[in-house]
Amino acid sequence: MTCLSLKEATIKFGGLTAVNKVSFELEKGDLFGLIGPNGAGKTTCFNMITGVYEPTSGGIVFEGRNIEGTPSNRIAKLGICRTFQNIRLFRSLSVLENVMVGAFLRHKTSLASALTDMPPAIKETRALRDQAMSLLEVVDLADEANLRSADLPYGSQRRLEIARAMATQPKLLLLDEPAAGMNPQEKLDLMGVVRKIRDEHQMTVLLIEHDMRFVMGLCEKIFVLDHGEEIAYGPPDSVRNDPKVIAAYLGEAV
């Protein structure tokens, strides 16, 4: 079953075509990698999918529904959530509170009952806190729950972003360079976490990553962008040996 499909999605900023007629499809349960050299348009793709930018032309379909141009918060409610390449945590909130903001998506009580501190609102806050706490255990941050999120080391901040996105219980999780800045051991652990997210939490995962060992070891399908255009698509082995991909990353022989 198709989860997400981009149909000739194109976005132009003035004279620059950042993403040009990109089409790909994610099946439900995919572990899908999006790679390419710097400036290839990967994060711009994420921004189109999550409603930060509206595509100039082409379509984005999520579970049979056209979502191009829908505001970010509505897209999150539909079931797509993301992490950010340049970490965007709520820095002065605690680790637990960050995840609770993600869990807030599923709130049912009204703002009025929160302002008057009614029992359903109190109960809901408690329930969402418990859910957030159990997600922190998944990413191994339960002991740091009450720390200020800005005080976490870099690798933990990345894992916290993943937990926060997971708290919205998305159907599709977008990870933007989740392993950036991690040491080899942390990367290995993270691969386990991502696999667990897909297998145990039944989420479809689309990820951008520069670390080839990470992408090749984790993803089942890989889509390669360069200068905003598709240059290769397929399983890791075929992508790895594709001459266009090698040329894009290493340059061509003179």
151, 200, 228 from 73: Cα distances, Å: 27, 26, 26
Phi and psi (nearest 5°) for 202? 50, 45
Buried b (16+ CB within 10 A) or exposed e, 80-109: bbbbbeebebeeeebbbbbbbbbbebeeee
Stretch that binds other proteins, among 113-121, 196-204, 205-213, 216-224 (CB under 8 A): 113-121
Q: Does 194 bind other proteins (CB under 8 A)?
A: no
User: Is the Cβ–Cβ distance between 204 and 198 less than 8 Å?
Assistant: yes
Classify burial at 37, counting beta carbons within 10 Å of its beta carbon; exposed 0-12, middle 13-18, buried 19 or more. middle
Residues 105, 133, 191, 216: which binds other proteins (CB under 8 A)? Answer: 105
Q: Which of positions 139-178 make contact with other proteins (CB under 8 A)?
A: 146, 164-165, 167-168
Nearest distance from residue 124's CB to other proteins, in Å? 7
Stretch that binds other proteins, among 20-28, 125-133, 183-191, 204-212 (CB under 8 A): 125-133
Residues 2, 57, 72, 241: which binds other proteins (CB under 8 A)? Answer: 72
Stretch that binds other proteins, among 59-67, 95-103, 209-217, 222-230 (CB under 8 A): 95-103
**For residue 26, what is the enclosing H or E element?**
strand 16-27
Q: Does 85 bind other proteins (CB under 8 A)?
A: no
Q: Does 116 bind other proteins (CB under 8 A)?
A: yes
